[in-house]
Amino acid sequence: MKLFTTSASPNGRRVNIAVAEKGIEIEKQEIDLGGAENLSDEFKARNPFGRVPVLELDDGTYLSESVAITRYLDSLHPNPPLFGSNDLEQSYIEMWNRRVELNLLMPVAQAFRNLSGMFKDREKISKEWGLISAEVAQSAVPLFDDQLAKTEFIAGDNFSVADISLLCTLDFARATKQDLPFDLPNISRWYSLVSARPSAKA
Ligand SMILES: N[C@@H](CCC(=O)N[C@@H](CS)C(=O)NCC(=O)O)C(=O)O
């Protein structure tokens, strides 16, 4: 297997953390997003959408989408389980992972893309959309804080893929100087807990 990724990107990091949680080694090739390496014909043969990460399997199959890649790694290496251990846990984790992705990761990514202009060479950008996205992200954070008042991790008693998504989103928002309420009490408690895991260094 070979992972084509940009480790500094939030989606690249999501898979890197999952790999670290599993304690496995996967050959990696870093892709230069700033230099548009992901838009080359060679890269688009791996993922026609031109996004990282992409996992190449030994039979030549390409898997993209960070959660799909993580799910595949989880099926090969079930411990520790990142997608739950029974039907209800699996659905609950999926629910929270989707909530993180749709209500926080996407708005944070859209705020970054539309306000920084980093990808203006490859897509239309709108400052207004960036500002709206920033507001959507800000208003979503307290809902995650409320959930973390009730549970140790975002989707229950165990660390899961939903925690990986939330951690990578918040760290990316912080690194790109987005004005989110990072210091809410339950988020702060959870952030210290998950950031202390060795995998968070990935
Ligand atoms: N839903 C995809 C999103 C992948 C994605 O947007 N990757 C970003 C990096 S975080 C990317 O490749 N951006 C390059 C570009 O837009 O040109 C996933 O979960 O993997």
According to DSSP, residue 23 is labeled: T
Q: State in Å: Cα 65 to ligand 1 middle.
A: 8
Which of 136, 169, 166, 141 lies closest to 154 in space, CA to CA?
166
Residues 173-199 pLDDT 10s:
999 999 999 999 999 999 999 999 999
Report how far residue 145's alpha carbon sits from residue 142's, in angstroms, rounded to the nearest whole number: 5
Q: State in Å: Cα 67 to ligand 1 middle.
A: 12
- Domains of the chain, earliest start first: 2-76 (3.40.30.10), 87-201 (1.20.1050.10)
What average pLDDT is seen over the chain? Answer: 98
Residue type, 58: D
Residues 102-139 pLDDT 10s:
999 999 999 999 999 999 999 999 999 999 999 999 99
Residues 142-167 pLDDT 10s:
999 999 999 999 999 999 999 999 99
Ligand 1 pocket by Cβ (under 6 Å): 9-11, 33, 38, 50-53, 65-66, 119, 122
Report how far residue 120's alpha carbon sits from residue 117's, in angstroms, rounded to the nearest whole number: 5
Q: What is the mean pLDDT of residues 70-88?
A: 97
| 66-76 and 161-175 helices, crossing angle to 10° | 140
Cross-strand pairs, 56:
2, 62
pTM over 0.85: yes
